[in-house]
Amino acid sequence: MPSVVPASAPLPTLRWDVFCRVVDNLGDVGVCWRLAQALASAKQQVSLWCDDTPTLQWMAPAGHPRVTVRAWPSASQAMDAELGDVVIEAFGCALGPTIEAALPRPAHQAPRLWVNLEHLTAETFAARNHTLPSPVWSGPASGLVKTFFYPGFTPQTGGVLHRPATPPPAHEPPPPVQPYALLFCYEPQALAHWLDWAHQHQLTVFAAGARTQAACAATGHTHWRALPRLSQAGFDQWLRASCINWVRGEDSLVGALFAGHPMLWQAYAQHDDAHHAKVNTLLDWLQAPPSLRHAWHVANHMAAAQAHWLPTPGDATWTTWQACLAAASARLQRQAPLHQQLLAWAASRLA
């Protein structure tokens, strides 16, 4: 892995362009907004180009003074702003010929940095491929180099985006004081059983998102409540305050890990079951006890639910889960966050 400037060295103020396409369930724009905001809070100038800008009106209603939200240009449109020093292609979103044609700089200027920000995974290839260069041989950007930046859970990767406790908008409902469970899943087979378990232990279930709420309604259960649409800061607050979280995707996974409470994670299912490796390698990183590993397998249709596959709040199994997740949260807190690693990497290339 190439060297980067020391964390104590002053970092230059750069102009960043983050490109995001919303593919499924808004996780893409959630991560990209969080990254843009983190870079801007580090005194960088950021443009976030997105093909679904209306989502940001409720996800980040306050915006950020150093972040300019721009609509993704169509194939027939010209760029309405000059690209900055670093261009981030989030999750391989394919910039297209119009944007790629704007990437090259005159020979007398420092080359523009082009980064492909990959999906988060605990799989070993993340460390192996982190910051590998990939020359571009064809198209408008021929001759440039794209660098693959891999978020991850170990110091050999790019880390994850941390979660500052940003106050949510005043009009949003605060989490309840009494213990509750937060649910943000797809359509797990064990959902009805999990709702039974929560009701048995007097945990109110708050279901977030239309897809999750539809899945709950399909079970016929009535012992759950629909969580209204929240800003990113508001949803983070609900994750931190919940005594158990069942989440999906990437951004909510990291939030639940930082919360440090018992949790389940449902990975995005892939037709070839490639998500099984994502689940198992993350469980390995967690150093998950067998009971937690089995529960995650049930949540991801990798195992049939056994009797007592979920713990009783406060019992020995619950305490073991709590200790496991608290330790994982502490490890993440000690790791340099993704935006700082991107800043240091860019500074080392432009020095």
In the numeric block, which tokens belong to residue 311?
A: 């713990």
Task: Using a pLDDT cut of 70, give the percent of the chain over it.
Answer: 97
**Is 246's pLDDT higher than 80?**
yes
| pLDDT bucket at 81, cuts 50 / 70 / 90 | confident
- Rounded to an integer, what distance in angstroms lies between the CA atom of residue 347 and that of residue 345? 5
**Is 142's pLDDT higher than 80?**
yes
Residue boundaries of the structural domains of the chain: 15-160+336-350, 180-334
pLDDT at site 18: 98
Q: Which residue has the higher pLDDT, 93 or 10?
A: 93
pLDDT at site 283: 98
Q: What is the pLDDT of residues 264-323, one digit of tens each?
A: 999 998 889 999 999 999 999 999 999 999 999 999 999 998 888 999 999 999 999 999
In the numeric block, which tokens belong to residue 257?
A: 């890990």
pLDDT at site 79: 80
**Is 172 part of the annotated catalytic residue set?**
no
pLDDT at site 9: 62
Exactly one of 17, 85, 89, 250 is catalytic; name it: 250
User: Which pTM value belongs to this model?
Assistant: 0.94
pLDDT at site 25: 65
Please name which of 122, 155, 92, 129 lies closest in space to residue 276, comparing C-alpha atoms. Answer: 122
- Rounded to an integer, what distance in angstroms lies between the CA atom of residue 34 and that of residue 233? 10
**Is 17 part of the annotated catalytic residue set?**
no
- Rounded to an integer, what distance in angstroms lies between the CA atom of residue 285 and that of residue 331? 10
pLDDT at site 80: 78
Least confident range from 39-43, 137-141, 191-195: namely 137-141
| Number of other residues whose CB lies within 10 A of the CB of residue 316 | 10
We find that the CATH architecture of domain 180-334 is 3-Layer(aba) Sandwich (3.40)
Q: Could you tell me which CATH number the domain at 15-160+336-350 has?
A: 3.40.50
**Is 187's pLDDT higher than 80?**
yes
Q: Tell the residue number behind the tokens 């067998």, with chain if given.
A: 290
Least confident range from 73-77, 244-248, 331-335: namely 73-77
Q: 15-160+336-350 and 180-334: same fold?
A: yes
- Give the mean model confidence (pLDDT) for residues 135-155: 95
Q: Report helix, strand and coil shares of the chain as percent, to nearest 5.
A: 35, 15, 50
Exactly one of 28, 85, 118, 236 is catalytic; name it: 28
**Is 5's pLDDT higher than 50?**
no
pLDDT at site 2: 41
